[in-house]
Amino acid sequence: MPPFELLPRESTERRSRVIDLERKEQASRRIVLAAAAAAASAGAVPIPFSDAAALVPIQIAMVAGVTVTYGLPISKGTFVTLAGAALSYGGLTNAGKYLVTNLLKFVPGGNITGGVIRAGVAGALTSAAGEAWIAVCNQLAQLDPERLARLDASEVRDMFMQAFEKRARGGPRDSEE
């Protein structure tokens, strides 16, 4: 080792990658926070079933923004697979709440209660999906480029669903474990 180097090259390169991932994670959390706030606002709209049309583009834009922040080459097919997985999970587990709160919009005074419930559910689900996607992007960013190129959309979907289920249950972020 040359006398002017204090740490071996491998150690400084590894630390540089860790700092870069931390910076990307922080920037991604700002994107997720903004998307969760937008989703909560969309959920609070007192027009029956209007929030569904707004939530999908908000969540897709969030996933795209986080992906761009990490500089990952994710295909349109992978986005479609992820969107389908997220919507089917969220749709199946929250269809009852969604239907009831939208029907409350037709009842006088039900708009306020239903709006609060929908806003909370929309914001929480969007936040959980965003945190799950950050966890996936952290994993993907640490793969070598050859392995990343060989990843199948179903593998990425499975990674996402595992992380999403963990976060939907209130599990810790990867940086908190």
| Structural contact between residues 81 and 156, judged by C-beta atoms closer than 8 angstroms | yes
The average pLDDT across 131-150 equals 87
| Structural contact between residues 127 and 32, judged by C-beta atoms closer than 8 angstroms | yes
Measured distance CA(156)–CA(17) in Å, rounded: 22
Residue 121 covered by a domain: yes
Residue 27 covered by a domain: no
Signed CA dihedral, 41, 44, 47, 50: sign only: positive
The average pLDDT across 81-107 equals 55
- pLDDT of 34 reads 97
- pLDDT of 66 reads 93
Which tens digit of pLDDT belongs to each residue from 149-177?
Answer: 888 878 888 888 888 888 777 766 655 55
What is the DSSP secondary structure assignment for residue 15, as one 8-state letter? H
Name the domain count of the chain. Answer: 1
What mean pLDDT is reported for the chain?
75
Tally of helices (H runs) and strands (E runs) in the chain: 6, 0
Residue 130 covered by a domain: yes
Q: What DSSP letter does each residue of 78-129 carry, written as one string?
A: HHHHHHHHHHHHHHHHHHHHHHHHHHGGGSTTHHHHHHHHHHHHHHHHHHHH
- pLDDT of 81 reads 67
Which tens digit of pLDDT belongs to each residue from 96-125?
Answer: 455 555 555 565 665 666 667 778 878 888
Residue 164 covered by a domain: yes
Residue 83 covered by a domain: yes
Measured distance CA(161)–CA(129) in Å, rounded: 9
Residue 7 covered by a domain: no
pTM, whole model, 2 decimals?
0.74
Tell me the one-letter amino acid at 51.
Answer: D
Confidence of residue 95 (pLDDT cuts 50, 70, 90): very low
Residue 62 covered by a domain: yes
69 vs 9, residue with greater confidence: 69
Domain carrying residue 113: 32-170
Residue 13 covered by a domain: no
